[in-house]
Amino acid sequence: MQDVLEAIRKGETQPVYLVQGNDDYLIKMIKQTFLSYVIPEEERELNISVYNLHEESLAFAMEDAESISFLGDKKLIVLDNAYFLTTEKPKGAIEQNMNLLEEYIQSPNQDTVLVIMAPYANLDNRKKIVKSLKKLAVVVDANALNEQEVIQFVQNYIRNSEFSIDRQTVKLLLEMTHYQLAIVMNELEKLCIFKQKEKKIDRQDVLQFVSKTLETNVFILLETVQQRQVDKALAIYRELVLQKEEPIKLLALLIGQVRLFLDVHILIQKGYQQSDMAQLLKQHPYRIKLAIEQLKKGNYRQDTLIQMYHILAQADYSLKTVNSDKHVIVELALLKMMKTGENT
């Protein structure tokens, strides 16, 4: 992906691109790269067209792609939401004639850059048009990056910037954002604004300016529960409440985290590898890594995790049905969880 984007920034384009993947940050960033670099700014109004294929005709888009550019060397045509490349048709989406696209990519207009955006995790590889695109188009992968790919992405961003950040500081930033690319880049851009004058970001800057994600705080909360640190667990929960987080939302995140621990515990027993777990559970690889580490650190038993899940599920039911203090219900659930697995 990085090589393709770098070529586009240099003005080295190909006639047809297929951008496929379900990472929102990458999809937006890749699309913006095309919009910003393919056509000179003074020519963009007349030579860039974006079609939403949920509601706009592919026939019109293909006719546009075949036509010559206005007062410029090239034109850019972006096809958003190419749903017909998948197995499902979204509700309300209009029918499209895929044969028109099939015919076009066999002999594309060399003065047009056609970008087909498919913001989906998987395409229907049985379809002729998908096979043809993968053969004839430049395919740009926009699926969620694994841990190592996030590291490389961030390092490339820093390398191309005016800022200096050492490896340990980058590692801290990534850990505090759980290697979630959109959050990492948002925090990194914020740090660059704060440190615009110095052009250097250090560990203290990250600790001072980078906010812990809600998921990180919930993970820490669960860790203190496992360690039976009553005062610390209640303090973390009450701090989140002061930050206007709703008890029902926090409880839902706790349930999700315990359920992830339970699923990972079962898969470990079945001999699954970390990468396979991430794909099977549809979770970010770093979340799976953290879950495995926490399971080892806490020496969790399966029956303990099941007890914790039931306690949280009962608390969730009480929040929705019992006219009682919501905070008392959640705090009582945290205390009850500390009583589970005391003999592990």
In this prediction, residue 114 has a pLDDT band, given cuts at 50, 70 and 90, of very high
pLDDT digits (tens, 9 = 90+) for 38-77: 999 999 999 999 999 999 999 999 999 999 888 778 999 9
pLDDT recorded at residue 116: 98
In this prediction, residue 341 has a pLDDT band, given cuts at 50, 70 and 90, of low
pLDDT recorded at residue 311: 96
CATH topology match: 147-209 vs 214-338: no
Fold entry, domain 147-209: Helicase, Ruva Protein; domain 3 (1.10.8)
Fold entry, domain 2-141: Rossmann fold (3.40.50)
pLDDT (mean) for 75-94: 94
pLDDT (mean) for 149-173: 91
pLDDT digits (tens, 9 = 90+) for 298-316: 788 899 999 999 999 999 9
pLDDT digits (tens, 9 = 90+) for 196-233: 999 999 999 999 999 888 888 888 899 899 889 999 99
In this prediction, residue 175 has a pLDDT band, given cuts at 50, 70 and 90, of confident
pLDDT (mean) for 23-27: 93
Percent of the chain topping pLDDT 70: 99
Q: Which residue has the higher pLDDT, 285 or 186?
A: 186
Contact 65, 26 (CB under 8 A): no
Enumerate the domain spans of the chain.
2-141, 147-209, 214-338
In this structure, of 58-62, 144-148, 185-189, the range with the lowest mean pLDDT score is: 144-148
Give the number of C-alpha atoms closer than 13 A to the C-alpha of residue 82, restricted to the C-beta side: 26
* Architecture (CATH level 2) of domain 214-338: Up-down Bundle (1.20)
**Per-residue 3-state assignment (H helix, E strand, C coil) for the chain:** CHHHHHHHHCCCCCCEEEEECCCHHHHHHHHHHHHHHCCCHHHHHHHEEEEECCCCCHHHHHHHHHCCCCCCCCEEEEEECCHHHCCCCCCCCCCCCHHHHHHHHHCCCCCEEEEEEECCCCCCCCCHHHHHHHHHCEEEECCCCCHHHHHHHHHHHHHCCCCEECHHHHHHHHHHCCCCHHHHHHHHHHHHHHCCCCCEECHHHHHHHCCCCHHHHHHHHHHHHHCCCHHHHHHHHHHHHHCCCCHHHHHHHHHHHHHHHHHHHHHHHCCCCHHHHHHHHCCCHHHHHHHHHHHHHHCCCHHHHHHHHHHHHHHHHHHHHCCCCHHHHHHHHHHHHHCCCCCC
Distance CA 216, CA 220 (A): 6
pLDDT recorded at residue 344: 44
